[in-house]
Amino acid sequence: MKYTLTFSVLLAAAAAHPFAHQKRFTPQPGLRTTPAAVKNQTGPAPDSADADTIYSYNWSGGYVEGSGVTIAYGTVVVPAVSIPPGGDSNTVYSGAAWVGIDGDNSDCGTLLQTGITWQIGGGQGASYGAWYEWVPDEALTPFDNFNVNQGDTIIMKVVASSSSGSTGGAAYITNESAEWIVEDLTVGGSFAPFAAFDPIAITAAGWGNDQGTYDLSGAGIFTLITSSGQSETDVSIPNNSEVDVSKIRIILEELGVPYRNEYIVFQEVKAESYTKLNPNGRLPTIHDPNTGITLWEFKTGAITAYLIDQYDKEHRRSYGSFPEKYHMQQWIAFQISGQILHPVAIATVLMLFPGQGPYYGQGVWFSFIHPEKLPTAMERYDKEIERVRSVLDTHLRRQASAHGDTSDPWFVGDKCTVADLSFVMWENVVDQINERKGIDLKGKYPAYDAWKERLFQRPACKKSMDSRAEAMEEQIRNGPFGRVVREDAK
pLDDT, average across residues 289-308 = 77
| Cα(155)–Cα(105) distance, integer angstroms | 24
CB neighbourhood size of 188 (10 A): 17
pLDDT for the residue 365: 74
Which part of the chain is CATH 2.60.120.700? 3-246
| Cα(295)–Cα(394) distance, integer angstroms | 34
pLDDT score of 250 more than 60: yes
pLDDT for the residue 1: 38
pLDDT score of 163 more than 90: no
pLDDT for the residue 38: 52
pLDDT, average across residues 217-225 = 86
Among the listed residues 36, 177, 53, 206, the one whose alpha carbon sits nearest the alpha carbon of residue 103: 177
pLDDT for the residue 467: 67
Range among 206-210, 312-316, 333-337, 342-346 with highest mean pLDDT value: 206-210
Which part of the chain is CATH 1.20.1050.10? 266-489
Name the percent of the chain lying above pLDDT 90.
22
Helix, strand, coil abundance in the chain, percent, nearest 5: 25, 30, 45
For 209, phi then psi, to 5°, come to: -145, -165
pLDDT score of 226 more than 50: yes
Tell me the one-letter amino acid at 144: D
pLDDT for the residue 76: 93
Yes or no: say if 328 and 304 are a contact pair by the CB < 8 Å rule: no
- Predicted confidence band at 141 (pLDDT cuts at 50, 70, 90)? confident
**Cα 49 to the chain's mean position, in Å?**
22
CB neighbourhood size of 413 (10 A): 21
CB neighbourhood size of 102 (10 A): 27
pLDDT, average across residues 272-290 = 80
Tens digits of residue pLDDT in 358-375:
567 677 777 776 778 888
Tell me the one-letter amino acid at 435: E
Among the listed residues 280, 290, 386, 294, the one whose alpha carbon sits nearest the alpha carbon of residue 340: 280
- What average pLDDT does the chain have? 75
pLDDT score of 97 more than 80: yes
Contacts of residue 295, Cβ cutoff 8 Å, sequence gap at least 6: 285, 286, 288, 302, 303, 306
Fold of 3-246: Jelly Rolls (2.60.120)
For 423, phi then psi, to 5°, come to: -90, -10
pLDDT score of 267 more than 90: no
Q: Is 249 exposed, middle or buried (0-12, 13-18, 19+ CB in 10 A)?
A: buried
pLDDT for the residue 103: 81
pLDDT for the residue 5: 42
Yes or no: say if 22 and 159 are a contact pair by the CB < 8 Å rule: no
Tell me if the domain spanning 266-489 has CATH number 3.50.50.60: no
